[in-house]
Amino acid sequence: MDSNNHHPQNPNPNLTCTYHNTEFFDTLPDFELSDYLMLEDGTEGDLSSQNVTSSDNVTGGSVESAGATSTNSNIKCRTGVKRNKPDQADFRVAFRTKSELEIMDDGFKWRKYGKKMVKNTPYPRNYYKCSSGGCNVKKRVERDREDSSYVITTYDGVHNHESPCVVYYNHTPLMVPHGWTLQPSSSQSSPS
């Protein structure tokens, strides 16, 4: 990887991301993130306008994601819970990020295990696994076919370990092992 240059400080004073557990998502019983990310005809085009829970707050907060050296990355966070098979993680979160780079280093170490061309999308989808032993968190990275300047990163599962390099947003660890809740700051950093 070429993007292990982590940012020790808060890379984005305009964005507060606080992660708790999935209780947050229980308030969104009908919100299936995967549905939103499913690039279906006539729906994916509304991605930006349908960013119901967080986009209004998050969008506009330019973020230089850890490792992503893009100087103008506008991140749009889509969060939700996906009920999977019992033996699978029941947690899924996705970010739609405006970036030229597909590599979104979030502080964890990922190993690429697959690449696939998906239907109706001119761009390949890349599959990554957390390379930490015992951690079976996966993520998919693909370009938004509607706007190739956006990268959609989907995380499956929850890390069972601390990040090798915890990224802090407003004094709050970006990655917490037991689930995330997104609390974007709409205007400025407002430490509690």
- Residue where the block lists tokens 């689930």: 179
- With CB under 7 A as the contact rule, the residue among 40, 52, 115, 171 that binds DNA is 115
Closer of 98 and 140 to DNA (Cβ): 140
- Using CB under 7 A as the binding rule, whether residue 46 contacts DNA is answered as no
How far is the C-alpha of 3 from the C-alpha of 146, rounded, in Å?
Answer: 26
Nearer to DNA, 13 or 45 (CB): 45
Closest Cα to residue 176, out of 18, 15, 10? 18
Task: State the minimum distance, in angstroms, from the CB of residue 151 to DNA.
Answer: 15
Rank residues 120 and 192 by Cβ distance to DNA and give the closer one. 120
Q: Is 155 exposed, middle or buried (0-12, 13-18, 19+ CB in 10 A)?
A: buried
Nearer Cβ to DNA, position 111 or 171? Answer: 111
Q: Indicate whether 86 belongs to the interface with DNA (CB under 7 A).
A: no
Region from 10-18, 23-31, 117-125, 175-183 binding DNA, contact rule CB under 7 A? 117-125
* φ/ψ (deg, to 5) at 24: -55, -40
Burial of 152 (0-12, 13-18, 19+ CB in 10 A): buried
Applying CB under 7 A, the residues found at the interface with DNA are 1, 109-116, 118-120, 125-127, 131, 138, 140
